[in-house]
Structure 1
Amino acid sequence: MIIYTKNNLFKSPAKVLVNTVNTVGVMGKGIALEFKRLYPDMFHQYQRYCENGQLSIGKLWLYKSPTKWILNFPTKQDWRNKSKIEYLEAGLKKFVENYQRLGITSISFPELGAGNGGLDWNKEVRPLMERYLSKLPIRIYIHLYSKKNPKAEFMSIKETQTWLNSQPDL
């Protein structure tokens, strides 16, 4: 079941939060930068995976913190490049094939590849995400970007950490 929301991704009740990443080990902008700040250990592991060639398009990496799980989802190869719709499709296909085995019961996605990735949310990304995710029997939150929402970097770290430490929606 897909639930569209304008709430901040980091305040999601979902067990798993999706982090859009590249495959060269840089989290310097957008939502990835916020994940880097909130989960520094995850970021260092991510860099090692990238350096060793273990993270590629269509390959997802699930990081399990004590409170939230982070699904690192490559939407571009290099941070300097735009996302490609086929990269998103490869990742969504992998997610659908593996979410049960990974124990994912609820998940929050941002608008994959639509922000800094440059893809068109309404014409390209949303139809693709709906095609892959709409029939899954788990709660899938899709967080829509809104200029009215406070950016995560302007929220207090304490407030964000309180939400991250809350019990996930099982």
Structure 2
Amino acid sequence: MVTYLEFGNIFNLSVVKNYAHGCNCAGAMGKGIALQFKEKYGQMYLEYKNLCKSGGFNLGDVFAYNYGEGTVFNLGTQKSWKTKAELDAIEESFQKMLLYAHQNRIDKIALPKIGAGLGGLVWDDVKVIINSVAKDYEDIDLIVVENYRDI
């Protein structure tokens, strides 16, 4: 099931310990929510950066990082910070993330409006993909915060 919250902060949702966000495949997390992930999960960022540098993180990939209390899903949605996100990459990475979550009994994931902020895509196009892929994983609740507000 997908729940859309108009405003909020994914890190302040008390019932959620698993998070997802869109990433570039160049190893940069310098703006937007990616920067918040980098600051909050420094070791994850170093592993992600090394994966990118070695060519091990590409469009459509998922880097799942267990931080002890939950998992951060880094979704390969754009080639670099200079390029737009790609709808096909969002769909592929979402499918991989939800399969991983299903196999590992992860039942709640919070995420921002992936690909539609700095990624430059039209949010309604991304929502169609999210809703389509999520319908095959009714055991997983996705909580999507559409607009950041530190509540």
Q: Same fold (TM over 0.5)?
A: yes
Write the mapping of 1:22-101 to structure 2, written as runs, cut at 5 A. Answer: 22-101=24-103
Moved over 6 A (4+): none
Secondary structure, counterpart of 1:75 in structure 2:
strand
Amino acid at match of 1:4: Y
CA distance in 1, matches of 2:68, 2:93: 25
Partner of 1:131: 132
Are 2:3 and 2:144, in contact at CA under 8 Å, matched by a contact in 1? Answer: yes
Find the aligned partners of 1:17 and 1:96 in 2 and give their Cα distance: 12
Contact 1:15/1:104, CA 8 A, preserved across alignment:
no
Map 1:97-112 to 2 at 5 A: 97-112=99-114
Structure 2 length-normalised TM: 0.90
CA distance in 1, matches of 2:42, 2:100: 26
Q: How many residues end up aligned between the 2 structures?
A: 148
Q: What do the CA deviations read for 1:68-106 (whole angstroms, capped 9, x no partner)?
A: 311111110111101111111111222233322233221
Which of the residues 92, 115, 118 maps onto 1:116? 118
Structure 1 gap segments, 5+ residues each: 156-170
* Contact 2:109–2:141 (8 Å) recurs in 1: yes
Whichever residue aligns with residue 35 of structure 1, its letter is F
* Alpha-carbon distance between aligned partners in 1 of 2:81 and 2:105, rounded to the nearest angstrom: 30
Q: Name the structure 1 match of 2:3.
A: 3
What is the RMSD computed on CA atoms of the aligned residues?
1.6
Distance of aligned partners of 1:51 and 1:38 in 2 relative to their CA distance in 1, 3 Å threshold: same
User: SS of 2:106's equivalent?
Assistant: coil
Q: Deviations over 1:97-144 (max 9, x none)?
A: 33222332211121110000010112x111111111134222211111
Larger proportion of strand: 2
Letter in 2 for 1:71: F
Aligned residues of 1:15 and 1:105 also touching (Cα < 8 A): no
TM-score (norm. length: structure 1):
0.81
| 1:42 shift after superposition | 0.7
